[in-house]
Amino acid sequence: MPLENLPTIPTDGQGKTLFDPSWSPFRVEKLVTFTGGTANAWGDDAGTLDGGALFLVTGTVRMRIIGVVETTLVGGATANVGTSKDVSGLLTQVADATTLQVNEIWHDATSDASVELSTVATEKIVANGLDVLFYNGTADITAGAIRFIVSWYPLSAGSWVEPSAL
């Protein structure tokens, strides 16, 4: 597995592990750049990446996920993050992706702030290796970028979360 896909544990300036009792110690992230005007790219409604894997999950894990908008999205599509069993179970559907503006934090159906309470990122349990998937609908998302950040903790032996290669 490439080094950049390994989960990271936050450290201080001396390299000592920092633990936060309200957040899980492992963290992974994935930057998604949307080019939905291109067939089967991220943001192409009904393309092969509509329901594409953001993160691959092995075993059962506890996780929090947020999206930090790096470039404002273009295209009036819906957007949500979940699993094949609950398509908006991790990030509730946003009815219009254009409301996801640069530097805003996506944690619910209304992305509206660049500063949020850490408690808005709800903790969920993802069972038995259900991958974290991104869905868009009703239109293409033709431009924009979101960095998805997952804080996770293993609940079953051998559990793991890593960004997908997509």
CA 36/CA 25 separation, integer angstroms? 34
Residues 108-150 pLDDT 10s: 888 778 888 787 888 999 998 899 999 999 999 999 999 999 9
d(CA 80, CA 42): 13
For 137, phi then psi, to 5°, come to: -150, 170
Is residue 154 one of the residues assigned to a domain? yes
The answer to whether position 70 is within a domain reads yes
Q: pLDDT digit string (tens) for 13-54?
A: 887 766 666 667 789 999 999 999 999 999 999 999 999 999
Range of the domain at 137: 25-163
Does residue 44 fall inside a structural domain? yes
pLDDT score, position 48: 94
Overall domain count for the chain? 1
Residue 47 domain-assigned? yes
By the 8 A CB rule, do 142 and 74 touch? yes
Residue 16 in domain: no
In a domain, 68, yes or no: yes
* 2 is a domain residue: no
Residue 55: Cβ within 10 Å count: 25
How confident is the model over 72-121, as pLDDT tens digits? Answer: 999 999 999 999 999 999 999 999 999 999 999 999 888 778 888 787 88
